[in-house]
Amino acid sequence: MARGRFITLEGGEGAGKSTQLQTVAACLREAGVPFITTREPGGTARAEAIRGLLLSADEAEPMAAETELLLMFAARAQHVRHRIEPALEAGTWVLCDRFTDATRAYQGGGRGMPLARIDALAAWVHGDCWPDLTVLLDLPVAEGLDRAAKRGAKDRIEQETLDFFERVRMAYLEQAGASPDRFRVVDASRSEAAVAASLREILRPFLQAARTHD
Ligand code: T5A
């Protein structure tokens, strides 16, 4: 049986990942591809519990950058072992809201943790289980934060500074530039419909190539 394909959506706060995950899901459904949707941090019961730790603010004991990085990978280890790998092995496609590229952008670019350390953790936790396709929804930081703010209270990471999110954006764009075969960058400042149309354009040849290779 052919291994499933692994697709991730990435981007800064409020970029529209959750919204556009539905577009990708609709494309896969129309193509008759078996798939699951999931997210990081999270995706399994234990990983969702770790997400709770990561996103809740506690001013009495601020989270150390090292703790944050290790918790991201602790959640990812559960997710990869119990959800992502079993699905891919069963021929099911995995559509995931964020993965290790987010760690490179947020903990690497945003927090300034050494990329070599992040890459070593990634190699340990998920080996060569990297996405086959990553769509980066890119938009100016202020626009994304405005959109996210309309949704309500900010979580711990959303309380970061504008500079932090500018570094995250730059780190994402650098990663996309360094891996052009895997990344597609989409201008996410346009309407939901325009962004959805771009995603459909990206997925058409990807689905065709997957059919040819299987
Ligand atoms: N994190 C995560 C790390 O630091 N390291 C890691 O390794 C990982 C995996 C997770 C947090 O953890 C951090 C990153 C995050 O800070 P999250 O919930 O996954 O949190 O991520 P968020 O970015 O916070 O998710 P958001 O829900 O804020 O962003 P989305 O999913 O990109 O945006 P979405 O689709 O919910 O849209 C936000 C709002 O904008 C509207 C939507 O209707 C919604 O109201 N919208 C648009 N408005 C106008 N035009 C468009 N084109 C729009 N598209 C959506």
List pLDDT tens digits, range 179-203: 999 999 999 999 999 999 999 999 9
d(CA 21, CA 11): 12
According to DSSP, the residues that pair with 112 across neighbouring strands are: none
191 lines ligand 1 (CB under 6 A): yes
- pLDDT tens series, the chain, 214 aa: 899 999 999 999 999 999 999 999 999 999 999 999 999 999 999 999 999 999 998 889 999 999 999 999 999 999 999 999 999 999 999 999 999 999 999 999 999 999 999 999 999 999 999 999 999 999 999 999 999 998 888 899 999 999 999 999 999 999 999 999 999 999 999 999 999 999 999 999 999 988 887 7
d(CA 18, CA 39): 9
103 lines ligand 1 (CB under 6 A): yes
**E strand or H helix at 10, and its extent?**
strand 6-11
User: Using an 8 Å Cβ cutoff, are 120 and 100 in contact?
Assistant: no
Q: Identify the pLDDT of residue 210.
A: 86
- Residue 43 in tokens: 């995706």
d(CA 44, CA 175): 27
Cα of 137 from ligand 1 centre, angstroms: 10
Q: Identify the pLDDT of residue 34.
A: 97
192 lines ligand 1 (CB under 6 A): yes
Cα of 48 from ligand 1 centre, angstroms: 16
Cα of 208 from ligand 1 centre, angstroms: 29
144 lines ligand 1 (CB under 6 A): no
Q: Are strands 35-39 and 183-187 parallel, antiparallel or unpaired?
A: unpaired
- Contacts (Cβ under 8 Å, ≥6 apart) of 5: 88, 93, 94, 132, 133, 206, 210
Triad 44, 145, 112: Cα angle to 5°: 70
Q: Identify the pLDDT of residue 64.
A: 97
**E strand or H helix at 88, and its extent?**
helix 85-89
14 lines ligand 1 (CB under 6 A): yes
d(CA 137, CA 187): 6
145 lines ligand 1 (CB under 6 A): no
Question: Hey, whose CA ends up nearest to atom 16 of ligand 1?
Answer: 157
CA distances from 73 to 157, 169, 199, 203 (A): 16, 21, 28, 28
- Residue 179 in tokens: 């891996």
Pocket-testing residue among 19, 39, 150, ligand 1, by greatest number of atoms within 8 A of Cβ: 19
Residues 104, 35, 193, 152, Cα dihedral to 10°: -60
According to DSSP, the residues that pair with 185 across neighbouring strands are: 136
Cα of 16 from ligand 1 centre, angstroms: 6
